[in-house]
Structure 1
Amino acid sequence: MERIDDKSRKKFAKYVSLNILAMLGSSCYIVADTFFIANGIGADGLTALNLAISLFSFIQAIGLMVGIGSGTRYAVSMSRGERETGSRVFSNAIMAGIAAGCLIAVVGLLFAGRIAEAIGADQVTKGMTSTYLKVIMFFAPFYIVNHTIVAFVRNDGNPKLATIAMLAGNFSNIILDYVFIYLFKWGMFGASFATGIGPVISICCLSAHFIKKQNQFKLIKTRFLLHTVADFCKLGISSFVNELSTGAVIMIFNFLFLGLGGNTAVAAYGIVANVALFAVSIFTGIAQGIQPLVSDYYGKSMTGQLKAVLKDAVVVALVLTAAIVAFSNLFNDGIVALFNKSGDPLLQSIAKEGITIYFLGFFPGSLNIVLAGYLSAMEKAEKGFIISLLRGLVIIAPSAWLLSRFFGMTGVWTAIPVTETITLLAALLMLKKTIYPPLSSSETPQLPV
């Protein structure tokens, strides 16, 4: 049985714990938005937020694809002593991130209203949804660049600073949420503006890595190399689809719940989905935490260490999942009540059922997230992509629609554990073929004559 040595285990614990903290902090600002909007603006504001978050996931997905993909390529390059390549990858990642972010910002300024209508906003929620989208999309360049620099700083041996920067940005958002919504009475504009300032503060914190000259990478004068961008985007595609799947699921569920229970059902789903972000952020933190280790071991062909890291990651994911599911069932009523200031019994009932069923999907879902990140960190991007695509679009959409036809809202909730379980079976098959590939004819052992 493969075992990880004490030094590597300490490194594993450090990277994983710091990334879990960072991702928890990242999810905090969305949950804070949910809490402050639910209690400061009301159920209609909560519905508008949940509609807008589906598009916000697209911005985050691009940031993660560029950041995780380029960070993975940087880690592999540095493990092979290719320092110049690392700086070239960083420079192209920053250029690509700024270009994509500016394009999103322009689209948001011009078409936020039409986008709000397209994702399901009605006359009651259109104005608030449009406002939130316009501000969030304006800050898209900062989101994407922040994800990129965080990934490079983490892969450059400074996960502590990467974590501090993310936490600083996210907790400043929580404070500003309170100030802008409750004190300044800025409503949805205040909530979105507070969220947009977060990555700006994070980038300022990350600049310490360069000021103290701890960086092994730097911006260099280079042409925009499309093949370089395509290469690291390929490595980050599973992260892209993984995050985009969150937005896709939210959008699909929004339309289904609108048809089954109107704005109240969408608001209830918003509570469940945003609370679930805490759990998803933990599993994403595990996947991102093992990425530098897996990329390094892969670059050095340390097969035993690769298997040991995967084993530890799976154990941590399952233990944390069990704790999350137990906690959510014990305190189901109280969790929902935090976001239901008016005490709406229908909102309470729908959200309670959602938490009970939805969270069961974390048992297979946590492993899917870890396995997708693990395979991508080994330059098996296509397999990570397939896992993310299965759980994000291919299975969830038809299963949610089909189950809702037979079981109504209960069927929509049940689609999550069903989808994650089917995906896990496919993921385990791909993992087996990666770790234990079939022997070619030339490698097949021959019996002695």
Structure 2
Amino acid sequence: MTQHEKLFESLPPTRLFFRCALPSMISMAMLSLYTVADGIFVGRYVGPNALAAVNLVMPLIMMSFALVDLVAVGSSVQISIRLGEKNERAANRIFSFCTGLIVALSCVIGLGGFFLAGPMVSLMGAEAEVTAMGAEYMQVYAVFAPVIMVFFAVDNYLRICGRVRYSMILNVVTALLNIVLDFLFLVVFRWGVAAAAAASCLSIALGTVLGFLPFVMGRLPLRFVRGTISARQLGNILANGSSEFFSSIAGSVMMVILNSVLLRLSGSMAVAAFSIVMYVDSIVGSLLFGMADSIQPAISYNYGARRRDRMLALEKRVLLTGAAVSLAALLWMQLGGKYVIPLFIQGDDPALLEMSLRAMRLFSLSYLLGWAGTCLSSFFTALNRPGRSLILAFSKTLVFPLACLAVLPAALGLDGVWLTAPAAGVLTAALAVWFLTAVLRQERAQDRQEGEGTPQA
């Protein structure tokens, strides 16, 4: 029995959950840490205009990474299911083909991003200085795209192979290196906002090299092989990854819209205040996503092996932990925001501090129910139900927030923008519970069919 088989088949659900979830949550928290480190160093040592510039272009960068996630997440589900079915040949073929596809996509994205950075940022309507800084920051990411975008895919593949601790160590090393480079580039050498992007990209590039080493050396169940996959299989991979793709795209589009509304209501200070909240939120969001995403291979594996009891037991632990983490984050942001926000502010700026604190306290109400959408969207993806996962993710990140944004600011002004996320979270949770009820009903019906010996449709 291989390492991933022992992990996914034999460990009790609680031990399996913690074995997968804790390293992944640490990994994702560390990944978000270098984004937060950029925010702290940029805000304190370059200034609020640079902080606003980074926040303006980050949605565009995230959109480009979403294309890679489309292939990475979708292929991870299919690889896990094939390993559960003991079809390692098919799993290796999917792994090899999709890795090559991701590298090719990254090259195309990098070229487009480098030459179109200026025009895209200028469309957002910010001041000339902020626009120039944003374009400069984005172009650095574009140059490194071929070697950094594949990092998040190889991290998924490592966890599929049961190398969750190696993945965690890799992410910790990457994040710590980024912080060191941020300090050198921004504090010691005073190189400016582009250096913050370079620090992140150099760190991720090292993570890509170290991540692929075990595969190249042939030490894991997945190996590089020759061959392609069918158009139908590629379509299924893209469908399975579509929820994460559209979720990221929709979330990025929503951020662009929010930034535009904030610029209209209160100028670049509101954008800077919101960026501080988003930096803190990125840590919480990464913990939830890392937990849900880490259990996805185990759920897919047990779904392929027809172990529905283990599959449901794992998801129960995901939901309970998601609720606990979110409530803890709510208390932390309500009570501790005044100690965190000054880390991002250059000098003494009481107006920015007050606006950021108000934004954080209202936005943090989204943690009351927001965890349900994240946890259940990943669950539906793991069960090869891309339609439900896509609808839920798209509603969570764009449809419901847009609807709330159309109503709340008109009635509450700037507070309405901060309350958009909590209101959208309530609507998302209701939709997620409805979908879950339907899926569980389908699974029980299929169990009855199998028990009676009825062939599956």
Q: Which TM-score bucket, shorter chain as reference?
A: over 0.9
With 205-214 and 295-304 compared, the bigger mean Cα shift is at 205-214
Corresponding residue for residue 265 of structure 1: 270
Are 1:62 and 1:144, in contact at CA under 8 Å, matched by a contact in 2? Answer: no
Query: Which residue of 2 is the match for residue 412 of structure 1?
Result: 417
Match of 2:323 among 302, 318, 324: 318
- Report if the CA contact (8 A) 2:68-2:105 is conserved: no
- 1:305 and 2:343 aligned: no
CA distance in 1, matches of 2:49, 2:178: 21
Once residues 8 and 439 of structure 1 are traced to their aligned partners in structure 2, the CA distance between those partners, rounded to angstroms, is 24
Aligned twin of 1:447: none
Structure 1 residue 401, shift from structure 2 partner: 2.8
Alignment of 1:145 onto 2:167: no
For residues 439 and 108 of structure 1, do their structure 2 counterparts lie closer, same or farther at Cα, with a shift above 3 Å needed? closer
Determine the structure 1 residue equivalent to 2:104: 99
Q: What's the secondary structure of 2:245's corresponding residue? A: helix
TM-superposed deviation, 1:123: 0.9
Superposed counterparts of 1:9-408, under 5 Å: 9-210=14-215, 213-223=218-228, 225-408=230-413
The 2-side partners of 1:243 and 1:284 are apart by: 12
Could you list the per-position Cα deviations for residues 257-310 of structure 1 after superposition, in whole angstroms to 9, with x for gaps in the alignment? 000100111000110111100110010011111111101111111121122111
Matched residue SS, 2:128? coil
TM-score by length of 1: 0.93
TM-score w.r.t. the length of structure 2 is 0.92
RMSD: 1.9
Post-superposition offset of 1:211:
5.5
Letter of the structure 2 residue corresponding to residue 34 of structure 1: G
Distance 2:428 2:283 in 1: 21
Q: Residue 148 of structure 2 aligns to which amino acid in structure 1?
A: Y
Change (3 A) 1:161 1:6: closer
Do the aligned residues in 1 keep the contact of 2:158 with 2:167 (CA within 8 Å)?
yes
Structure 1: distance between partners of 2:148 and 2:216: 21
Pairing partner for 1:427 from 427, 432, 437: 432
CA contact 2:45–2:187 (8 Å) conserved in 1: yes
225 and 116 in structure 1: CA distance in 2 versus 1, 3 angstrom threshold: farther
Tell me how far apart the structure 2 counterparts of residues 186 and 224 of structure 1 sit (CA, whole Å): 46
How far apart, CA to CA, are the structure 2 residues paired with 1:372 and 1:126? 35
Question: Which runs of structure 1 show a deviation greater than 6 angstroms over 4 or more consecutive aligned residues?
Answer: none
Change in Cα spacing, 1:199 to 1:227, as seen in structure 2 (3 Å) is farther
The count of corresponding residues between Structure 1 and Structure 2 is 439
User: Cα deviations across residues 72-116 of structure 1 (Å, max 9, x unaligned)?
Assistant: 111100111111111111122112211211111111221111011
* CA displacement at 1:356 relative to structure 2: 0.8
Provide the C-alpha distance between the structure 2 equivalents of 1:183 and 1:97, rounded to a whole number of angstroms.
36
Deviation at 1:65, TM superposition (A): 2.3
Q: Does the CA contact (< 8 Å) of 1:51 and 1:120 recur in 2?
A: no
**Contact 2:148/2:208 (CA < 8 Å) preserved in 1?**
no
Q: Which amino acid aligns with 1:371?
A: L
Unpaired runs of 5+ in structure 2? 1-8, 450-457
**1:168–1:201 Cα contact (<8 Å) kept:** no
Q: CA deviation at 1:174?
A: 1.5
Residue pair 2:215, 2:222 contacting (<8 A) in 1 also: no
How many angstroms apart in 1 are the aligned matches of 2:288 and 2:372?
8
More displaced 10-residue stretch of structure 1: 227-236 or 291-300: 227-236
**What residue identity is the alignment partner of 1:220?**
V
The amino acid that maps onto 1:322 is L
Q: What fraction of aligned residue pairs are identical, expressed as a percent?
A: 23
